[in-house]
Amino acid sequence: MPKKHHQKPAKQVKIAKNRIKFLFQHAKETFKEDSKLADRYVKTARRIAMRYKIRLPSSLKKRFCKHCHKYFVPGANCRIRIHKHRIIYYCFGCKHHMRHPIK
C-alpha cells in the first residue's frame, strides 16, 4: 500500500492530541513514584505526535529534555535558570542545556 500523501483523519488527530495531553498529565503524576515510567509516557507521547505529524505545543516541549527525552521536574532532574530573557533548562540526565525564549 502506498503511504505517500496519506493524511490522517481529523478525528484521529484530535484523539491523538488528547492522548498526548493525557500522557503528560500521567507523567507528572507518576514521576514521584516511578520516574522511569514518566519517561516512558513522554516517549509514547512523542511517538504518537510523530505518527500523526502533530507538533507538540511549546508548553509540552518544555516538560521534557529534547536530547534524552526525560520528563523534567525542576529540582529533581533538571535545573531552571533565567538568563537574557530566556529560560535555560539544564538536564541532570544528559548534561545538556535547552533554551526557550520567554514570551
78 contributes a contact to Zn ion by CB under 5 A: no
> Does the protein bind Zn ion through residue 98 (CB under 5 A)?
no
Name the helix (H) or strand (E) containing 78: strand 78-83
Q: Which of 94, 97, 99, 100 binds Zn ion (CB under 5 A)?
A: 94
| Angle, CA of 39, 37 and 10, to the nearest 5° | 65
The answer to the question of residue 67 lying near Zn ion (CB under 5 A) is: yes
Q: DSSP label at 64?
A: B
**Judged by CB, which is closer to Zn ion: 16, or 78?**
78
For the chain, the residue count is 103
Residues that bind Zn ion (CB under 5 A): 65, 67-68, 91, 93-94
